[in-house]
A and B are shown apart, each in its own frame.
Chain A
Amino acid sequence: MIGRRWWTPWMWMTPALALVSVFLVYPSLDTLRRSLLDERSKAFVGLDNYRFIVENPQPLVADTHQALLTNALWLVVFTGLTVPFGLLLAVLTGRLRYEAASKSAIFIPMAVSFVAASVIWRFMLDFNPDIGTFNAIVTRVGGDPVAWLQDTGLGPVGGIGPLQLNNLMLMLIGVWMWTGFALVVLSAGLKGISSEVIEAARVDGATERQILFRIIIPILRPTIIVVTTTLLIYAMKIFDLVWVTTGGRFGTDVVSTLFFKQAFINRDFGVGAALAFILLAAVVPLMAISVRRFQAEEERA
């Protein structure tokens, strides 16, 4: 190897370290500090901002409980649908000659912005059955048009907390966008399973169901974890889709949209920063999982 000065590597890394420090490290620490200050970031208020979020004193201005619960529902429903659906499609398309074409069609929405997706779906879900495809189908089979994006109930029953029709529709839009991601990553993992293993199981008389649950899923476990962690992180931070589709109205606010309203519309940096810090605290366990997985990979290499 060549002789280098001790500072050579640091020179190569300086631009990157500077950018990361200015845009990620320093702001995260500063947000923690501001979350302990008042709305103008002047006076120290201790944990008052966090207390505001827990006690939810102004549900009409900023319904913190609804936002936290809706975000939790996103984690469960969005991730819970996207991963199994992507896995199922990966197994199914893997057996087809037109595998590549069908996969591209399903992951096109990944290339589209949340903003464009939201326009697409406002259009699909429009109340007017002459415009909205969903309501055209509903009225064609004899039903009444449904206000998909405004309805806070669930059919004949009222919504239970965040479990509202409009929230579920927003999550379905998320599933539409992200199934392609789960499909492509899982199907690459699937290609890594040797066909002899599956063939041997088939010879031994295993059913397709047993092959899926006893062989494919256990072998794919690390890939499934990667996909799930990625989707959980996205669900945690979901913003654009909700912001453009409903603006957080009708009980669809999530932590990010509420953060935006508090910090940049209501100009309350204290509660805004506290919400943002809660978001960071919530992803730390996922960060720990990613770092551990990464370290394990490094040791194997």
Chain B
Amino acid sequence: MTTTRSASSGHRVTWWQRLPLHAVVIAVVVLWSIPTLGLLVSSFREPSAIASSGWWQAFTHPDQLTLANYERVLGEQGMGRAFVNSLLITVPATVLVILVAAHAAYALAWMRFPARGLIFLVIVGLLVVPLETTLIPVLRLFSHTTIERELPLLGGNVFGTASYTGMWLAHAGYGLPFAVFLLRNFFVSLPRDLVEAAHLDGASDLQVFWRVILPLSLPAIAALAIFQFLWVWNDLLIALVLLGDPTLAPMTLKITNLVSSFGTSYQVLTAAAFLSMALPLVVFFAFQRFFVQGMLAGAVKG
């Protein structure tokens, strides 16, 4: 691209003049990848090898590679259960936020009513409220409203600090400002004629919402879903404060506990950390396009 542009302005740029450019970018890419690569390689090395030689020596000693770290972490360290817990927290929390936000965004985008602008402005303002500001009262609220009956199928109480429902609602609440902001702005940009035509044909709001708006908004919903998924999956603070029952702990919390109890036994930590990264990385590579869209939508969240 630059080559042709520069050519038109009179001086040709040859490949060796661009060598410094390639060198800088490739150096940054390598530097950025080494830490993650080191972790990945180490997670497959024998404990004695991790403790006595650098991860880069795995390339010259491939005989030291093993799957034992993963077996150990998944089995006796309970990381398998934590992986399932992470899913049990993340998936419903993501679906919930999309459903609730989409309904609100539809009203804010397509219905006329007093205070519409004000309500949206307040929601945009809430985007930056730090989670920290809300945690003490929410924890008090949870412990006062605990319902100590087991939730069918999932385990955990019906509500309170030892429940998934509490986590779903909390994550949905914290994710809503961004979700409403993103979806409302997308809905507004859809062609007005389409909605009006559907109404003229006698479609109700619910029909327009499900049959016209949602199908057209899949890119925005995908972007939102990926962001919410990553936020909830990667969250530590909310789980640390609001989840009192260690058997329900997600991976982030489990790993944090491993760090404090195991310190530097990297055979456990590296495998655990990589397990927690695996799903986000798959999501990231599969939906990169939507991920970027979500970022561009102004990824500001509390």
Q: Which residues of A contact B (CB under 8 A)?
A: 1-2, 4, 6, 8-10, 12-13, 15-17, 19-20, 22-28, 30-31, 34, 89, 92-93, 95-96, 102, 104-106, 108-116, 118-124, 126, 130-131, 133, 136, 176, 179, 181, 184-185, 188, 195, 199, 202-203, 226, 229-230, 233, 236-237, 239-240, 243-244, 247, 255-256, 259-260, 263-264, 269, 272-273, 275-277, 279-280, 283, 286-287, 290-291, 294-295, 301
Q: Are A95 and B1 in contact (CB under 8 A)?
A: yes
**Chain B interface, number of residues (Cβ within 8 angstroms):** 110
* Smallest CB separation, B246 vs chain A (Å): 15
The 7 A-B pairs at the shortest CB distance, nearest first, are namely: A23-B173, A113-B234, A27-B134, A16-B104, A12-B107, A119-B273, A30-B137
A122, B293: Cα distance in complex, Å: 32
Classify the secondary structure of B's interface with A: helix
Q: Does B79 contact A (CB under 8 A)?
A: no
Q: Which residues of B contact A (CB under 8 A)?
A: 1-2, 5-6, 8-9, 18, 21-22, 24-26, 28-29, 32-36, 38-39, 42, 50-56, 100-101, 103-104, 106-108, 111-113, 116, 119, 121, 123-139, 141, 169-170, 172-174, 176-177, 180, 188, 196, 199, 204-205, 230, 233-237, 240-241, 251-252, 255-256, 259-260, 264, 266, 269-270, 272-274, 276-277, 280-281, 283-285, 288, 291-292, 295-296, 298-300, 302
Give chain A residues whose Cβ lies under 8 Å from the Cβ of B288.
104
Q: Are A106 and B32 in contact (CB under 8 A)?
A: yes
* Smallest CB separation, B295 vs chain A (Å): 6
A24, B180: Cα distance in complex, Å: 14
A5, B290: Cα distance in complex, Å: 37
A44, B9: Cα distance in complex, Å: 73
Residue of A nearest to B208 (CB): A2
**A–B complex contacts, Cβ < 8 Å, 27 sampled:** A4-B205, A8-B205, A13-B103, A13-B104, A13-B108, A23-B174, A24-B177, A27-B134, A31-B137, A102-B29, A112-B234, A115-B234, A115-B256, A119-B270, A123-B266, A130-B54, A133-B55, A199-B9, A237-B131, A237-B302, A244-B259, A256-B130, A259-B132, A263-B136, A269-B136, A279-B132, A291-B121
Classify the secondary structure of A's interface with B: helix
* Smallest CB separation, A78 vs chain B (Å): 16
Give chain B residues whose Cβ lies under 8 Å from the Cβ of A123.
35, 38-39, 42, 266, 269-270
A114, B277: Cα distance in complex, Å: 10
Q: Are B22 and A96 in contact (CB under 8 A)?
A: yes
